[in-house]
Amino acid sequence: MFARVSEEIPDTGAVAEKHLNLPYGTDIRQAIDIYMPENRGDRAVPAVIFLHGGGWQSGDRADAQMLPVFRLLRHGYAVVSAGYRLSDTAVFPRNVYDVKAALRLVYDGAERLGIDRERLFLSGASAGGHLALMAAFTLGQAAFDGARGRDGAFSEGADTSEIPLAGVIAFYPPTDFLAQDAQFEAADIPRAAPEPEGVLGAADIMFGVKMSSAPDLARLVSPVNFVHKNIPPVLLLHGRLDPIVPSAQSAELHEKIEAICGSGRSECIISDGILHADPDYARPEWTEAILRFLERA
């Protein structure tokens, strides 16, 4: 088995202060759950907004992928688990629109919820990491903020031009779809079986077209192509032997950010002993690494 998926689920029932099923759209998946840390008093706390993985076509905002971020509750951070429409109903960039709308909901409601709107972080695992990076790198860009009706109002997504995102934490994210095959070959590591010839993979379904047949369009969905000098700080976490998303995806993005933004804007941690969707990402040493990033960003 290539991906070690934890059977442990976040103990959300033990969280005293929470706000569940807050909608940002009309689809059942367009909703967020907010968990607040204990003993915060009247203090506004920073928040990490988490996006689940699942190949853009499965997963849920309450599943075990949230565990590494859920651990941050103990350290005074609010945790927001955000759902988004899956690729059976909404192909790219509508999933990015959803992330923007969820971010806007938290930002607008921050004072009422007891969240520090100046300390909002996006995070995600696998497909969710990809969406977190895409949303963070395109804040305020009209093409990725959402779709508008004739009256100029958003029918999907939200205006994110003035949201001061404090950082991004991406677990094993796809970042450059056209480079993955070559990266796996160069790494010479066991790889999960790719889709048979002629069958659309998860990324193809998310994008709505076979990426290998439309390379120019495939670049449009790859975060590595949207790095610019004003992106927020980024933390990338990956396993060297990840058989589903090569660790070179994180390494390449890290190098691109360092080249464009200068040293220190990106941190990339690649571990020899961890796999895709590995429950070990919830271990204390990873929590400590995340906390160091959050406190520094």
Number of structural domains (the chain) is 1
**Four-point Cα dihedral 171, 245, 127, 295, nearest 10:** 10
Give the mean pLDDT of 71-79: 97
User: 5 lies in a domain?
Assistant: no
Predicted local distance difference test score (pLDDT) of residue 123: 98
3 state SS of 124: strand
User: 2 lies in a domain?
Assistant: no
**At residue 2, does pLDDT exceed 50?**
no
For residues 142 and 97, the answer to whether their CB atoms sit within 8 Å is no
User: 141 lies in a domain?
Assistant: yes
Measure the CA–CA gap between 106 and 44, rounded to whole angstroms.
13
Predicted local distance difference test score (pLDDT) of residue 209: 86
Q: What is the pTM of this model?
A: 0.95
Place 23 in a pLDDT band, splitting at 50, 70 and 90.
Answer: very high
pLDDT in tens, 219-249: 999 999 999 999 999 999 999 999 999 999 9
User: 92 lies in a domain?
Assistant: yes
User: 3 lies in a domain?
Assistant: no
User: 188 lies in a domain?
Assistant: yes
Q: Which domain holds residue 73?
A: 12-296
Residues in Cβ contact with 32 at an 8 Å cutoff, skipping those fewer than 6 apart: 22, 24, 49, 61, 80, 81, 82, 83, 102, 105, 106
Give the mean pLDDT of 142-167: 94
User: 1 lies in a domain?
Assistant: no
In this structure, what CATH number is given to the domain that contains residue 275?
3.40.50.1820
